Amino acid sequence: MLLMFAALLAQPADCSNAMQQQEMNRCIAEAARAAEADMNRAAAQVMRAFVADQGGENGEAARRLRDAQRTWLAYREAQCALAGVEALGGSLEPYLVGDCLKTMTEQRTVELMMMVR
């Protein structure tokens, strides 16, 4: 789904003052990408903690984290595709999908970080 936003990221936008739909779509895609990077860092931190506590990358905790993250990513993609349905094919659809990706990913990052406290 994030690949759909690759074209939008080609040109930087002034996100503090975005007024046109294309700019807004580009800005939300950038925000979703940033949230994805934060989540990936959080997942790596949790994995490092699990590896240290459980004795290796092949441990049960590490396997469960990988499985959970893969399943969660598939769920997020499907859920966010659904979020864009009300504007299907329209210029607002990428914004709705991007906002969903950003929001869900930020929430997942918090969940992951709570695992290492």
Q: What is the pLDDT of residues 13-70, one digit of tens each?
A: 678 888 899 999 999 999 999 999 999 999 999 999 988 876 666 688 889 999 999 9
Whole domain around residue 77: which residue ranges?
Answer: 20-114
Let me know if residue 59 belongs to a domain.
yes
Considering its fold, how many domains does the chain have in total? 1
Q: What is the pLDDT of residues 58-101, one digit of tens each?
A: 688 889 999 999 999 999 999 999 999 999 999 999 999 999 99
CATH number for the domain spanning 45: value is 1.20.1270.180
* pTM of this structure: 0.84
Q: Of 37, 21, 27, which is closest to residue 99 (Cα–Cα)?
A: 27
DSSP 8-state code for residue 116? T
Let me know if residue 7 belongs to a domain.
no
Measured from the Cβ of residue 112, the count of other Cβ atoms closer than 10 Å reads 23
Let me know if residue 103 belongs to a domain.
yes
> Which three-class secondary structure state does DSSP give residue 88?
coil
